[in-house]
Every structure is written in structure tokens, then in C-alpha cells.
Amino acid sequence: MIKRYILILFGIVIVCFYKKFFVFLCVIIGAVFFPEASKILKHYCFGDGSELVLNADYIKNSPVVKRRLVTMKVGQKKRVGFEQSEDWRLSFALNGFTIEKQKNKVIINQWIKFDRTGEVKTVFYFIPISDNIVHTFNCTPYMVRIEWYY
């Protein structure tokens, strides 16, 4: 009997707070499969607007980043956009970022501010999810930066 009431209460909470529950789920599950995206989402929803510096281990080996860097000269800065299918993990974290190739260093930046209109969707393995779902929290835009030496 108590289990039944707990399940009913849990169901009510999910129905009332499904957007918050979904965003929490993205942060938690994302930490395992898409750690960069999870950190970006968590900082956007619960952070203070300060710059977030991400570890470059995955991003510097991304096929998208590698292809762009090969075509760049030292001192050049480019805006990079790409199709999600080119690199799913990177696309959940960054898309529409700026990459700068210096003499011995690469810097990637992106201003993180999710759409509020409901018109922009992120496709999560064929399921379109409106970017504005995150605004169920009091989100704060910020700059994300990744850099590494080569």
C-alpha cells in the first residue's frame, strides 16, 4: 500500500515538474556519455555566469576540430558550424564555436545562451528537443573556453 502511494506521488511530481526532471536527467546521464555537454548544461542552468573552462581531451581529437585545424594558418580565427552527424558528442556541447590557431596553442570559445523561442531544436538521436526546455530554471549565459598546446 505504501509503495503504491509512493509511486503515485512520484508520478505526480514527474507530471508537474517534467521539464526540470528531464533537464536533471540530461545532466546526470550526460555526465557519463556526453561529459562536455553535461558540464555546459549544468553550468548554464545552475552556474553564476562565470567562464567555464573545459578539458580538451575529447575536443582536440574531435574529427570536426581536426579537419578545421588542418585548413587553418597560424594566427587565423574561424567560426565553426557543422552537422550533428559529423560528431554527435561535440554537437551536444558546442556548435557555432570560434576556433583560433596560434603558434603553439589552439583556443575554442562559444557564448552559451540557449534559445527561448522554442524554434531551435537539438536532435538527440532522431528525437527533436526544444532548446528552451532548459529555461525551466533561472539560466545564466556565459562563455565556455577550451584550449590546448600542440
What are the extents of the domains in the chain?
A: 2-149
CA dihedral 28, 62, 130, 100 (to 10 degrees): 110
Cβ atoms of 37 and 129 within 8 Å: the answer is no
The answer to whether residue 111 scores a pLDDT higher than 90 is: yes
The sign one gets for the Cα dihedral 47, 50, 56, 57 is: negative
What pTM was estimated for this model as a whole?
Answer: 0.88
Cβ-contact 59, 146 below 8 angstroms: yes
pLDDT in the model for residue 15: 75
Mean pLDDT throughout 100-107?
98
Find the length of the chain.
150
What local confidence, expressed as pLDDT, does residue 3 receive?
86
CB 41 within 8 A of CB 59: no
Task: Determine the distance from the C-alpha atom of residue 110 to the mean position of all C-alpha atoms in its chain, rounded to a whole number.
Answer: 10
Distance separating alpha carbons of residues 80 and 72, to the nearest angstrom: 12
What does the pLDDT read at residue 127?
A: 87
Q: What share of the chain is helix, strand, coil (3-state, %, to 5)?
A: 45, 25, 30
